[in-house]
A and B are shown apart, each in its own frame.
Chain A
């Protein structure tokens, strides 16, 4: 297994790339597909499930993952209340979305 840069699983810093720029992934984390060998190193995978066909009242939650990807680009590295920086404790990645064989 090729070794990855130590900050590979960290969100892209706003000092490197402005927060409005770049492909929007969850929390600006790397996109790792399930067929990628790197998946073995992922400890926490964020997955989009854009589905709302079971809704009984107001449909629209299928737009949820896109909205979260767009707006989580504002996420900070640490939690100001607990003082925890989760991305330094565990390898997190955006695993893409349910619905296609090769994602």
Chain B
């Protein structure tokens, strides 16, 4: 069977073949433009759900059906850039959060050195700390700190206690310690969609003190998409942008399989989320991640995994489009 159309048909069957992310070849990073990576880590957040390490497997299982063209961009990302699935970050001490974060950093230093831009699926949100320890002030950013486009129900800038159930570089701490290390420039980073139920009334204070630009969900609804997009453009233009997307920023009706599900206030619809992502289209996007996927809490139709794939596809497409225009 050598007919390319028939082969393409086979590749879109989500249940067919050995599952890789978006059916990309499993190859080493050298010479590649975009590196897709699984980060099956869940020791950074034990306060709610613990199956976030199953996220990459869930994405590999569904994403071949999402190996698509980007109609809005009129783009074939898979031919615009060289894109591979590097596999998963190895975690020989999977229950030791600090060791895992170091493993992540070591792995992404190799990717940074090779010049490929990583798009990752977690894993709990602590993985962003490990990734940006490698990318911040690295080769791809040309020595500059990372500027975040951070979509999330929570700020993850926790400073009151120096650990979360023993995890120091935890899913709640990365926004703080990356800024302390100088790997991130909070004054040129955005945190959008914050709506978590607060345990203390001053829970946003650490974000403000670090200088992050915070747009709560209430702010977003009051201001509207266009106004927030204008602020993203102003804050991030000309800087190395890293997109970190916590699936709990989405409304639980479209993303029920997340670890820190937030009831009580409407989250983003998919059009809001994609609209916010497109605010950085054409900017220097150095990488991105999608985190907090909880396959064991997903609906039987796997809508959370499919939505996570759709978000990853947007990030991949924007980076691929930049490659095409270079």
Residues of A within 8 A of B (CB): 15-18, 20-25, 31, 48, 50, 62-63, 65-66, 69-70, 94, 96-97, 99-103
Chain B contact surface mostly: loop
Most chain B CB inside 10 Å of its own CB: which residue of A24, A25, A99:
A99
Known: A21-B38, A21-B56, A23-B26. A16 touches B90 (CB 8 A): yes
* Per-residue contact bits, chain B 1-23, to A (CB 8 Å; 1 contact, 0 not): 11000010011010111111000
Contact between chains at A63 and B7 (CB < 8 Å)? no
Contact between chains at A66 and B61 (CB < 8 Å)? yes
A99–B2 CA distance with the chains assembled, in angstroms: 10
Contact between chains at B18 and A96 (CB < 8 Å)? yes
Contact between chains at A18 and B94 (CB < 8 Å)? yes
B87 CB-CB contact with A under 8 Å: yes
Interface residues of B in 236-255 (CB under 8 A from A): none
Residues of B within 8 A of A (CB): 1-2, 7, 10-11, 13, 15-20, 26, 38, 40, 53-54, 56-57, 60-61, 85, 87-92, 94
State the total of A-B contacts with C-beta under 8 angstroms. 77
A66–B56 CA distance with the chains assembled, in angstroms: 15
Known: A24-B57, A100-B1. A18 touches B17 (CB 8 A): no
CB distance from A74 to the nearest CB of B (A): 13
A42–B16 CA distance with the chains assembled, in angstroms: 23
Contact between chains at A50 and B16 (CB < 8 Å)? yes
Q: Which residues of A contact B16 (CB under 8 A)?
A: 50, 62, 97, 99
B60: which of A18, A24, A97, A103 is its contact (CB, 8 Å)?
Answer: A24
CB distance from A85 to the nearest CB of B (A): 22
